[in-house]
Structure 1
Amino acid sequence: RIAIINDGELQQFAPPLDCYNEPVNLFVAGFVGSPSMRFVQGAVDSGRFTDPELGIDLDVSSSVDINDNSRITLGIRPEDVYLEGHGDIKNATDPISLEVDVVQPMGDKLMIYLRAPDSDLSFESEFDETDQTASKTDQLLMAADPTVDVEAGQPIETVLDRSQIHLFDSASGEA
């Protein structure tokens, strides 16, 4: 077991994989894992999380404690973002149009930094404990197979693995 402490307060005490796979709040989600989880702000209406900038539309009606008009933060780990048509994803989101910003070869994988083309979209990363929000970044991060052929400036279609998406209350940061 590991203890994750923020500003002297215990956030989560659990086996490392539990902290990684089931973070109790935004701080733990952003702290555990490298590179860190990225976050997208959205809202719930009629049981669906929507983010108009990315076009993410997810049914969250079965999620506990999520009501209509709730502000929700969606958490996405780099290994849960895929090029459309790559990977064996049984429960993928609809395609999301993004643009390659930076490609960073890491040997066994490519870290591909993505941005929304022609948009003021800000993804979020690295939870800021002072104001209980995630700090802004304009990039989503995808961990891809090193054989994927992409380059900076290239438009691509991505999908998210719905089974690996994390939802947090935007006000409290709690899962």
Structure 2
Amino acid sequence: MSGVQLTSVTKDFGPVRVIYGVDLDIKQGEFCVFVGPSGCGKSTLLRMIAGLEETSDGQIHIEDEDVTDAEPADRGVAMVFQTYALYPHMTVAQNMGFGLKMNRHPKTEISAKVAEASRILKLDPLLDRKPAALSGGQRQRVAIGRAIVRGPKVFLFDEPLSNLDAELRVEMRAEIARLHREIKATMIYVTHDQVEAMTMADKIVVLRAGKVEQVGTPMDLYDDPDNRFVAGFIGSPAMNFVKGQVQDGRVVTKAFGAPLDRQSATLMEGRKVEVGLRPDILQLTDQGDFRIDMAENLGGVTYVHLTAPSGEKLVVQTTHRLDPAGGGTVGVTVDPAHAYFFDAETGQRLR
């Protein structure tokens, strides 16, 4: 059974189209992440699923029920926003159970559901506190608990960790991932942070300018991107790109002296390409013409920022520690088997 299914979904704001015919099938119990740069339409798409934005065309099904024109309260979804939106005069327990109270659920049922959500989120010691006495991470857990007590078919998260500091973001990523494993609910999560997407998702939907660029597991998108945009967006540090051209069946670049030799029917003579190189597949050598601009020593790994003889910028991942200020030159080698080729005009992958 599908948890959420979108069929040719579009969204127009007056004459401006912001979502273009999205087709998507999210399986029941799946953790799906919408990721993309600011303004790509990911939050708009989430709000359409929630019923907070009207669908201009197409259909939305939740657990095989057509909810395209249904009211938000009738869709069986619960949404967790970037802002916690907790009532400051209520305790944690009262905040979590308020929605059920407004819908006139029995007190015993409310208490039982709040207790279960509190157990899952480890909020028991905080139930009598008010939001002002909580940390940012604790407030976000309360907001998630408020969603859990409703027992929705689908959980929707709209950049819920954006207001947290770096350490809390890591902690809450683990909390949400654990929550998904425990309650096995369908979850759709919006973020611009591809690290969140890579570490949490069963399925990632990469969006750009209102269109789906690629859908797949985190490792599918990392290892087998369909185009330059996905290749550059997924992965940290980002993939390097250098310009090249096909000559005598091989790709010649100004950045590297030796041609990249790999057989492919798509590498037609004279074709202009961009070569994608992950930082971790590049190797440093003692002799070469790549200028060291700076080095980021992170302990177990170092990111070395280089300028190639062609003037193009590269980042190389290594375990060696270098002078952070840079200076000097090195060589860089690459195994062509690990290079990605993209059409220079369209950005599409050349396989």
TM-score above 0.5, yes or no: yes
The one of 227, 230, 234 equivalent to 1:28 is: 230
Does residue 67 of structure 1 match 2:268?
A: yes
Quick check: which one's helix share is greater?
Answer: 2
Q: Report if the CA contact (8 A) 2:293-2:306 is conserved.
A: yes
Residues 12-21 or 156-165, more deviating: 156-165
Q: Are 1:111 and 2:303 counterparts? A: yes
Q: Which residue of 1 aligns with 2:343?
A: 169
Aligned pairs for 1:76-95 (under 5 A) are: 76-84=277-285
Q: Structure 1's 169 and 97: CA in aligned 2 closer, same or farther, altered over 3 A?
A: same
Match of 1:43 among 238, 245, 256: 245
Q: Name which of 330, 335, 340 aligns with 1:156.
A: 330
Which SS does the other structure have where 1:54 is aligned? coil
Choose the corresponding residue for 2:256, options 21, 39, 54: 54
Kindly indicate whether the alpha-carbon contact (under 8 Å) linking 2:249 and 2:268 is maintained by their aligned counterparts in 1.
yes
Q: Secondary structure at the match of 1:30?
A: helix
Task: Specify which structure has the bigger relative contact order, considering alpha-carbon pairs within 8 angstroms and separated by 6 or more residues.
Answer: 1
- Give the equivalent residue in structure 2 for 1:128: none
Gaps of 5+ in 1: 86-94, 124-138
Task: Kindly state the Cα deviation for residue 141 of structure 1 after the two structures are TM-superposed.
Answer: 0.4
In the superposition, relative to structure 1, how do residues 100 and 25 fare at CA in structure 2: closer, same or farther (>3 Å)? same
Amino acid across the alignment from 2:267: I
AA of the residue aligned to 2:270: N
The within-5 A match list for 1:4-15 is 4-15=206-217
Q: Which has the higher strand share?
A: 1
- Aligned with residue 2 of structure 1, among 191, 194, 204: 204
Residue aligned with 1:42, SS: strand
What is the root-mean-square deviation in Å for CA atoms of aligned residues?
1.9
TM normalised by structure 1 equals 0.76
Find the counterpart in structure 1 of residue 77 from structure 2. Answer: none
Q: How many residues align?
A: 146
Give the conservation status (yes or no) of the 8 Å contact 1:55–1:96: no
Q: Is the contact between residue 49 and residue 56 of structure 1 (CA under 8 Å) also seen in structure 2? A: no
User: AA paired with 2:243?
Assistant: Q
Distance 1:99 1:141, change over 3 A: same
1:150 CA displacement: 5.3
Q: Structure 2, unaligned stretches of length 5 or more?
A: 1-202
Normalising by structure 2, what TM-score? 0.39
Residue aligned with 2:259, SS? strand
Give SS of 1:24's match: coil
